[in-house]
Amino acid sequence: MAGLIINIALGAIYAYSIIQIPIKRLFETVYSLKTTATEMQLPFIVFLLMFALMMPLMGKYIEKYGPRKIAILGGIVVGMGWFAASFATSPLSLVILYGVIGGIGVGMVYNCPIVTSGRWFPDKHGLAVGLTLLGFGFSAAITGPLMDFLMVTYGVENSLRILGALYAVMIIVCALVLRFPPAGWTPNRWRPPKVTTKTMTVDFMRNEMVRTRTFYGLWICFTIGTLAGLLAIGVAKPVGLEVAKNIGISEKEISAVLTALVIPFACCNGFGRPLFGWIVDKLKPMRAASISFMLIFLASIAIYLYPASLVFYAIVFAILWLNLGGWLAIAPALTATFFGVRDYARNYGLVFTAYGAGAVIGNLLVGQAKDIFGAYIAAFPYVAVLALLGLLVALVTFKPPKKA
In Å, the largest CA–CA distance within the chain is 68
CB atoms within 10 A of CB 141: 22
> Which pLDDT does position 238 carry in this prediction?
86
Residue 192 lies in a domain: no
Instruction: With H, G, I as helix, E, B as strand and everything else as coil, classify residue 286.
Output: helix
Residue 280 lies in a domain: yes
Q: Is the pLDDT of residue 148 over 90?
A: no
Residue 381 lies in a domain: yes
Q: Is the pLDDT of residue 189 over 60?
A: yes
Work out the pLDDT band at 201, boundaries 50, 70, 90.
Answer: low
Q: Is the pLDDT of residue 182 over 90?
A: no
Spatial contact of 369 and 378, defined as CB atoms under 8 Å apart: yes
- Encode pLDDT of 326-366 as tens digits: 898 889 888 888 898 788 878 888 898 898 899 889 988 98
Spatial contact of 308 and 254, defined as CB atoms under 8 Å apart: no
- CA-CA distance, 328 to 225, in Å (whole number)? 9
* Amino acid at residue number 163: L
* Amino acid at residue number 348: Y
Residue 171 lies in a domain: yes
Instruction: Give the contacts of 257 (CB within 8 A, at least 6 positions apart).
Output: none
Residue 191 lies in a domain: no
Residue 404 lies in a domain: no
Residue 390: alpha-carbon gap to chain centroid: 18
Q: Mean pLDDT: which of 28-42, 97-111, 119-133 is highest?
A: 97-111
CA distances from 275 to 190, 224, 359 (A): 23, 19, 23
Residue 105 lies in a domain: yes
How much is the average pLDDT of 177-188?
Answer: 85
Question: Quick one: CA torsion of 295, 299, 305, 310, rounded to 10 degrees?
Answer: 140
Residue 343 sits in which domain range?
Answer: 2-179+203-397
Q: Is the pLDDT of residue 196 over 60?
A: no
**Count of domains in the chain?**
1
Work out the pLDDT band at 272, boundaries 50, 70, 90.
Answer: confident
Task: Check which CATH number belongs to the domain holding 298 and give it.
Answer: 1.20.1250.20
